[in-house]
Amino acid sequence: MLEVSGLRKVYEGRRVEALREVTFQVDAGELVCVIGPSGCGKTTLLRCVAGLMPPTAGSVKVAGAAVTGPPPRMAVVFQEYGRSLFPWMTVRQNVELPLKEKKVPAVRRNELVAGSLAAVGLADVADAHPWQLSGGMQQRVAIARAVAYEPQVLLMDEPFAAVDAQTRADLEDLILVLWRDMGVTTLFVTHDIDEAVYLGQRVIVLSGSPTVVMEDLKIDLPPERDQLTTRSLSRFADLRGHLYAQIQRARGDR
Amino acid sequence: MTGPETVRRKDVRATRTGRTALRVLTVAGVPALLVISWQLYSTVSENFYVPAPGRVARAFAETWFSERLLDDVLPSLARLLAGYALAAAAGVGLGVAIGLSPRLRAAAEPVLEFFRAIPPPVLVPLIMLLAGIGDGTKVLVIASGCVWPILLNTVEGVRALDEVLSDTCRMYGVRDLSRLRHLVLPGAGPQIMAGLRQALSIGIILMVISEMFASSSGLGFTIVLFQRGFQIPEMWSGILLLGLLGYVLALLLRRLERRVLSWHHGRGVGRA
Ligand SMILES: Nc1ncnc2c1ncn2[C@@H]1O[C@H](COP(=O)(O)OP(=O)(O)OP(=O)(O)O)[C@@H](O)[C@H]1O
Ligand SMILES: [Mg+2]
Backbone φ/ψ region at A90: left (φ over 0), alpha (ψ -120 to 50), beta:
beta
- Report the length, in residues, of chain A: 254
3-state secondary structure of B200: helix
Q: Are residues B138 and B211 in the same domain?
A: yes
Q: What is the pLDDT of residues A21-79, one digit of tens each?
A: 999 999 999 999 999 988 899 999 999 999 999 999 999 999 999 999 999 999 999 98
The whole domain housing B66 covers 53-271
B40-62 burial, b at 16+ Cβ within 10 Å, e below that, comes to eebeeeeeeeebbbeebbebbee
CA–CA separation, A49 vs A67, rounded Å? 7
Chain A touched by B178 (CB under 8 Å): yes
Q: Are residues B112 and B26 in the same domain?
A: no
Residues from chain A contacting residue B189 (CB–CB below 8 Å): 88
Backbone φ/ψ region at A85: left (φ over 0), alpha (ψ -120 to 50), beta:
beta
Instruction: Tell me the HSE value of B197 on the side-chain side, using a 13 A CA sphere.
Output: 14
**Ligand 1 contact, A191 CB (< 6 A):** yes
- Examine the pLDDT at A112 and tell me if it is beyond 80: yes
CA–CA separation, A37 vs A206, rounded Å? 8
Neighbours of B14 (CB within 10 A): 10
**Ligand 1 contact, A38 CB (< 6 A):** yes
Q: Are residues B11 and B87 in the same domain?
A: no
How much distance in Å is there from the Cα of A18 to the middle of ligand 1?
A: 7
Query: B92: buried, middle or exposed (CB in 10 Å: 19+, 13-18, 0-12)?
Result: buried
Q: Which of B186, B180, B120 is nearest to B149 (CA)?
A: B120
Q: Are residues B131 and B34 in the same domain?
A: no
Using alpha carbons only, what angle is made at residue B221 by residues B217 and B224, rounded to the nearest 5 degrees? 150
Residue type, B57: A
CA–CA separation, B61 vs B106, rounded Å? 54
In chain B, the N- to C-terminal Cα span, in Å, equals: 44
Ranking A206-220, A224-238, B116-130, B173-187 by mean pLDDT, the lowest is B116-130
How much distance in Å is there from the Cα of A216 to the middle of ligand 1?
A: 22
Q: With beta carbons less than 8 A apart as the criterion, state whether A143 and A77 touch.
A: yes
CB neighbours of A127 closer than 8 A, spacing ≥ 6? A90, A91, A92
Please report, in tens digits, the pLDDT of each residue of chain B (272 residues total). Answer: 444 555 566 666 777 888 888 888 888 888 889 989 988 888 888 788 888 888 889 989 988 888 888 888 999 999 999 999 999 999 999 999 999 999 999 999 888 888 888 888 888 888 888 888 788 889 999 999 999 999 999 999 999 999 999 999 999 999 999 999 999 999 999 999 999 999 999 999 999 998 888 778 889 899 998 989 998 999 999 999 999 999 999 999 999 999 999 999 888 754 43
Element (H, E) at A11: strand A2-11
Determine how β-strand A57-62 pairs with β-strand A2-11: antiparallel
Instruction: Determine the pLDDT at residue B72.
Output: 86
Q: Where are the domains of chain A?
A: 2-73+153-253, 83-150
Instruction: Determine the pLDDT at residue B2.
Output: 46
Q: Are residues B7 and B121 in the same domain?
A: no
| A interface test, pick of B161, B166, B168 with most A CB neighbours within 10 Å | B168
- What's the domain count of chain B? 2
Q: Are residues B113 and B176 in the same domain?
A: yes
What distance in Å separates residue A88's CA from the closest CA in chain B? 5
Backbone dihedral angles phi then psi of residue A88, each to the nearest 5 degrees: -90, 0
Residue type, B98: I
CA–CA separation, B237 vs B243, rounded Å? 10
Q: Which of B159, B95, B197, B268 is nearest to A87 (CA)?
A: B268
Instruction: Determine the pLDDT at residue B7.
Output: 55
DSSP letters along A104-131, please?
--HHHHHHHHHHHHHHTT-GGGTTS-GG
Q: With beta carbons less than 8 A apart as the criterion, state whether B153 and B198 touch.
A: yes
Q: Are residues B156 and B254 in the same domain?
A: yes
Element (H, E) at A58: strand A57-62
Q: Are residues B110 and B202 in the same domain?
A: yes
Q: With beta carbons less than 8 A apart as the criterion, state whether B154 and B65 touch.
A: no
How much distance in Å is there from the Cα of A189 to the middle of ligand 1?
A: 14
Q: Which of A233, A212, A228 is nearest to A37 (CA)?
A: A212
Instruction: Determine the pLDDT at residue A77.
Output: 95
Q: Are residues B39 and B153 in the same domain?
A: no
Q: Are residues B124 and B175 in the same domain?
A: yes
Could you tell me the CATH superfamily of domain A2-73+153-253? P-loop containing nucleotide triphosphate hydrolases (3.40.50.300)
Instruction: Tell me the HSE value of B77 on the side-chain side, using a 13 A CA sphere.
Output: 14
Q: What is the pLDDT of residues B44-65, one digit of tens each?
A: 887 888 888 888 899 899 888 8
**Ligand 1 contact, A166 CB (< 6 A):** no
Q: Are residues B153 and B190 in the same domain?
A: yes
The DSSP letter of residue A212 is B
Q: Which of B263, B161, B188, B171 is nearest to A127 (CA)?
A: B263
Instruction: Determine the pLDDT at residue B6.
Output: 55
Q: With beta carbons less than 8 A apart as the criterion, state whether A19 and A204 touch.
A: no
Instruction: Determine the pLDDT at residue B10.
Output: 64
Distance from chain centroid for Cα A225: 18
Mutate to test the pocket of ligand 1, among A8, A9, A43 (most ligand atoms within 8 A of CB): A43
CA–CA separation, A61 vs A25, rounded Å? 9
CA–CA separation, A79 vs A18, rounded Å? 18
Instruction: Determine the pLDDT at residue B63.
Output: 87
Q: Are residues B4 and B71 in the same domain?
A: no
Q: With beta carbons less than 8 A apart as the criterion, state whether A206 and A45 touch.
A: yes
The pTM for the full model equals 0.86
Instruction: Determine the pLDDT at residue B272.
Output: 34
Q: What is the pLDDT of residues A144-200, one digit of tens each?
A: 999 999 999 999 999 988 888 888 898 899 999 999 998 999 999 998 999 999 999
